[in-house]
Structure 1
Amino acid sequence: MERILFILGILEDEDVDWLVTAGTRRELADGEVLIREGELIDAIYLILTGQFLVSLDHSPKAYIARLSSGEVMGEMSFVDHLPPSATVTASEPSVVLMVERSVLNRKLDQDIGFAKRWYQSLATLLSIRLRGTVKHLEAEFWEPTELNQALLSSDMADNMKLGGIRFDWLMRRLRDTEPGI
């Protein structure tokens, strides 16, 4: 299964190191809701381990996406400051790296290079997710990790590979500082 790793593929090593330092590890049990549709959130989440299902509250048993390690959650609310448009629930014991909005905003205000890379990576991620959604409008369930490779430019494919390397590095760094991941 290929992970969508645009965020880590576009960020630089020191940016990923900052995320590790600034973020907080959070464990979730199977069935635990991390993000609820319509309720404001004050963080963005990177899935370290586990899997999450995305659903609309008016149809909680109809999942519209599955997200796994390396994926980012809460990015839309981070960008537009609106409540989430879907509910995200752990479908197995999972661990996320939570970066609070206020901490991330301070970094974005203080580091223009990081801000450029951060927003470029979010724009790329949102674009790919939107293209995947449009492509799969008639499907009952969209697996964003199974993107059609034709959707990816060579630069994006390279960023995904680099993102995979950085995700593995991030996980090693977290294991060194927080055993049990």
Structure 2
Amino acid sequence: MTTARFLQEQPLFGGVDDQAMAAIMPLMRELTFAAGDVIVSEGEEGDSLFVICSGSVEVLKADPEQDAQVAQRIAVLHVGDVFGEMELLDTQHRSATVRALEPVAALGLSNGDLFRIYESDLPTFALIVMNLARELSRRLRSIDDLAVHYMSAPRRSNIQ
């Protein structure tokens, strides 16, 4: 079983005190996946985020201009990383597929459970949401860097 201390060492729960973690731990669902299992699928409805406790996953994104069955790997996530957080915040469909690269243990937190934290401990809720915002900001900065690299790469012209 994953400990509260482990979660407090991860970005999502950084700064959350022991008392708040004691209330949060019962809300977390322990999940396991075998290598190759699809954990979430792009386009499906989702209401949970996941914290990886062991193993690693790949994040796959379909190209809207290609066959929907063809997806590109856009990230590999490891212990302590979070996925599924976007659906908790914007309540839209899953933006990517996440597949286990090896056996994975994860903890899930649903939108409803996040709301329970809001109702019972507003300061802890605010801290978790700020931690989510920081994580999304880090990811956006990485995407910005990739976009600049892509845009500055030399292009081959088809004009002869």
Contact 1:19 1:99 in 2 (8 A): no
- Among 102, 113, 119, the alignment partner of 2:112 is 102
Match in the other structure for 2:27: 22
The structure whose residues are more often helix, as a share, is 1
TM-score of the superposed pair, with normalisation by structure 2: 0.77
Match in the other structure for 1:36: 41
Contact 2:13 2:128 in 1 (8 A): no
Q: How well do the aligned residues superpose, as a CA RMSD in angstroms? A: 2.1
Distance in 1, matches of 2:125 and 2:144, equals 28
Distance in 2, matches of 1:89 and 1:16, equals 28
Identity between Structure 1 and Structure 2 (%): 28
Query: Amino acid of the residue matched to residue 41 of structure 1?
Result: G
- Among 126, 146, 151, the alignment partner of 1:136 is 146
Is 1:124 matched with 2:129?
no
Distance in 1, matches of 2:141 and 2:110, equals 28
Match in the other structure for 1:149: none
Distance in 2, matches of 1:98 and 1:139, equals 34
Matched residue SS, 1:69: coil
Match in the other structure for 1:46: 51
Show structure 2 runs of 5+ residues with no match. 1-8, 63-67, 151-160
Q: Which has the higher contact order (CA 8 A, sep 6+)?
A: 1
Greater gyration radius: 2
| Counterpart mapping for 1:60-79 below 5 A | 60-79=70-89
* Aligned residues between the structures: 137
Cα distance 1:20–1:30, how it changes in 2: closer, same or farther (>3 A)? same
1:132: Cα distance to partner?
1.0
Contact 1:75 1:122 in 2 (8 A): yes
Select between 7-16 and 84-93 the one with higher mean Cα deviation: 7-16
What whole-Å deviation, never above 9, does each CA across 1:73-100 have from its counterpart, x for those lacking one? 1111100000111111111110000122
Match in the other structure for 2:96: 86
Contact 1:52 1:66 in 2 (8 A): yes
Contact 1:50 1:92 in 2 (8 A): yes
Matched residue SS, 1:85: coil
Distance in 1, matches of 2:40 and 2:128, equals 21
1:139: Cα distance to partner?
6.7
